């Protein structure tokens, strides 16, 4: 199986022994505490679950600035984005043992315990520099930039022990999996080559077929549909609805032992190219050999070019930085001429009207009105789940599909 990033074993920071973990969680209730931001909590979960191997914890200021500038840690390790624990202020001292509290769970229980090695404040200029390098913009209208700048400017780092995986392991018990668990399933399935597909949206017919195309062309034995379960921007479809829609698609339209449906506990950054590289890195850690990157991967608005998330692997990522291979996908759509889903660049002699192309806004309008998108765009079983969500959201009980 493909080796984790860094070439060693997975390095999960979740306290392994259940009794030790429970005892530490009880003691942590009495420790001085700091309330994490949602993205800080997600970073702790990713560190705990092994996805951020081989990091030993949150980055200090020097490491974060170095990663933003050159995608390298001080020891030379390749890493694409800062992994920080940012707080509004810190009144303690270096050497303190601190309970990091979870903002996303009722009662804000301890999520992790940090032995504070450093508490360092970024200047406004340094925060803007981080944004420019990681998000390619410091525009506060960018949802990732906005979330990052709202966390505070003081970075805490040090020895980290993670106590749990937040609400992901309770609210998404059948879907959330650690990197270790996914590796174990891939090995159990006997897959030698595995494609990973990232999604923060329900999967329509084009996404479904893209997974088939990638598996066929890479010679993969299976595909991990790996959905983001954390916080999204306003208007995106909730994780539980996406989960139900994707599971229905897999159940009806894929043979047994070819898909693994799972999810991970992270908040979307919308950082485009840099986030695409991060996505590839932690898919390597979970055991995938290939990762699909398509049009506008991890993008938002008009901040990135359509294929910037692919170009970064040619222009900025050293050839030996990652072992996972990138499957470069074009925009995928149903061809009326060929009567099948194709990657549009592979369909010569086509005009835009030869494809079934619907904008996200148009699809949401149709679903909210109880109108199923055409079968060339969405499976009817998937459309029904999404229409039901919009019916409940709007309070339109009993509205039928058209």
Give the model confidence (pLDDT) of 158-171 as tens digits.
Answer: 999 999 999 999 99
Q: Is 299 within a domain? A: yes
* Predicted pLDDT at 399: 39
Query: Which domain-ending residue is among 127, 145, 170?
Result: 170
Residue 264 falls inside a structural domain? yes
Is 271 found in the same domain as 140?
Answer: no
Domain with residue 189: its CATH number is 3.40.50.620
**Inside any domain, residue 6:** no
Q: Which of 11, 72, 201, 328 is catalytic?
A: 201
CATH number of the domain at 113, please. Answer: 3.10.400.10
The per-residue pLDDT for 374 is 92
In this predicted structure, the answer to whether residue 70 has a pLDDT above a threshold of 70 is yes
Strands (E), 288-369: 290-293, 325-328, 332-335, 340-343, 355-356
pLDDT of residue 75: 96
Say which residue, 47 or 243, is predicted with more confidence.
Answer: 47
Claim to verify: residue 236 and residue 137 sit in the same structural domain: no
Say if 4 falls within a structural domain: no
Do 263 and 298 lie in a common domain?
A: yes
Considering the domain architecture, whether residues 25 and 144 belong to the same structural domain is answered as: yes
In a domain, 3, yes or no: no
In terms of residue numbers, what domain contains 43? 18-170
- Establish if 263 belongs to a structural domain: yes
Q: Are residues 294 and 162 in the same domain?
A: no
d(CA 246, CA 302): 27
**In total, how many domains does the chain have?**
2
Structure tokens at 333: 């759509």
Q: Based on the residue annotation, tell me whether 201 is a catalytic residue of this protein.
A: yes
> Can the peptide bond before residue 54 be classed as cis, meaning omega within 30 degrees of 0?
yes
Q: Which of 200, 212, 247, 328 is catalytic?
A: 200
Does 43 qualify as catalytic in the annotation? no
- Per-residue pLDDT for 128 more than 70? yes
Q: What does the pLDDT read at residue 1?
A: 87
Segment 75-127, tens digit of pLDDT: 999 999 999 999 998 999 999 999 999 999 999 999 999 999 999 999 999 99
Residues 52 and 184 in one domain: no
The pLDDT tens digits for 226-244 are 999 988 777 778 888 989 9
Last residue of a domain, one of 149, 170, 191: 170
Q: What are the beta bridge partners of residue 33?
A: 99
Strands (DSSP E) contained in 125-192 are 154-162
Average pLDDT, the chain: 94
- 233 Cβ partners below 8 Å, 6+ apart? 143, 268, 270, 300
pLDDT per residue over 327-352, tens digit each?
999 989 999 999 999 999 999 999 98
285/6 Cα distance (integer angstroms): 9
Residue 402 forms part of a structural domain = no
Q: Are residues 284 and 226 in the same domain?
A: yes
| Token digits of residue 208 | 């479904």
């Amino acid at each position: 199986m493909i080796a984790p990033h860094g070439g060693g074993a997975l390095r999960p920071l979740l306290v392994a022994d259940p009794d030790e973990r429970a005892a530490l969680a009880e003691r942590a209730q009495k420790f001085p505490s700091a309330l994490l931001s949602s993205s800080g909590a997600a970073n702790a979960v990713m560190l705990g679950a092994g996805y951020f191997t081989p990091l030993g914890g949150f980055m200090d200021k020097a490491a974060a600035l170095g990663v933003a500038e050159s995608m390298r840690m001080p020891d030379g390790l390749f890493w694409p984005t800062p992994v920080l624990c940012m707080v509004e202020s810190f009144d303690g001292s270096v050497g303190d043992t601190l309970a990091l509290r979870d903002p996303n769970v009722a009662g804000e229980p301890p999520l992790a315990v940090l032995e504070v090695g450093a508490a360092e404040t970024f200047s406004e200029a340094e925060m803007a520099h981080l944004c420019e390098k990681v998000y390619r913009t410091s525009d506060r209208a960018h949802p990732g930039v906005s979330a990052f700048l709202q966390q505070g400017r003081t970075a805490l780092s040090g020895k980290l022990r993670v106590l749990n995986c937040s609400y992901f392991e309770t609210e998404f018990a059948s879907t959330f999996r650690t990197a270790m668990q996914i590796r174990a399933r891939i090995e159990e399935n006997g897959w030698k080559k595995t494609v990973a597909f990232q999604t923060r949206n329900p999967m329509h017919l084009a996404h479904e077929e893209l997974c088939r195309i990638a598996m066929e062309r890479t010679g993969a034995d299976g595909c991990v549909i790996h959905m983001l379960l954390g916080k999204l921007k306003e208007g995106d479809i909730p994780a539980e609805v996406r989960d139900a829609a994707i599971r229905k698609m897999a159940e009806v339209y894929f043979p047994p032992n070819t898909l693994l449906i799972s999810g991970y506990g992270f908040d979307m950054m919308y950082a485009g190219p840099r986030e695409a590289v991060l996505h590839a890195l932690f898919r390597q850690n979970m055991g995938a050999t290939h990762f699909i990157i398509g049009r506008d991967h991890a993008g938002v608005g008009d901040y990135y070019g359509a294929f910037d998330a692919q170009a970064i692997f040619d222009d900025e990522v050293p050839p030996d930085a990652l072992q996972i291979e990138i499957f470069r996908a074009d925009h995928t759509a149903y061809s009326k001429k060929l009567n099948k889903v194709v990657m549009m660049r592979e369909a010569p002699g086509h005009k835009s009207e030869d494809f079934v192309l619907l904008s996200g806004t148009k699809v949401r309008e149709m679903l909210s009105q109880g109108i199923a998108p055409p079968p060339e765009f969405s499976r009817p079983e998937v459309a029904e789940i999404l229409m039901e969500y919009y019916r409940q959201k709007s309070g339109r009980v009993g509205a039928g599909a058209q």
